[in-house]
Amino acid sequence: MRKEDTVKLISAEGFEFVVDKKAAMVSQTIRNMLTSPGSFAETEHGEVTFPEITTTILEKICQYFYWSLQYARFSSFPFLLSLLVHYR
């Protein structure tokens, strides 16, 4: 995979997660950081540091990005999920 196709997300402890750019773009915040006009470090280097997010939490966030990519095509999924939660 080419470096341009990945993004490095860095936790508060300095742990680096290299994820597909497409997956990271699930987050509107990260999308804005990486695509904003100007010469911001995040845009130039493809790295985003999260000084307030622990490694454990950032790992779960990255897992969610990939999960979201996989299931985004199921538009009725939130409705089905709410039914499952409601009837448990």
The type of residue at 5 is D
φ, ψ of residue 6 to 5 degrees: the values are -125, 160
Its domain, for residue 17, covers 3-86
In the chain, how many domains are there? 1
The tens-digit pLDDT sequence of the chain (88 residues) is: 676 789 999 999 999 999 999 999 999 988 888 887 776 677 778 899 999 999 999 999 999 999 888 877 665 555 555 555 544 4
Task: CATH number of the domain at 62, please.
Answer: 3.30.710.10
Q: In the prediction, which pLDDT does 73 show?
A: 66
Residue from 32, 17, 14 nearest 64 by CA: 17
φ, ψ of residue 19 to 5 degrees: the values are -125, 160
> Distance from CA of residue 21 to its chain's centroid?
8
Q: In the prediction, which pLDDT does 85 show?
A: 53
Distance CA 80, CA 74 (A): 10
pTM confidence score = 0.74
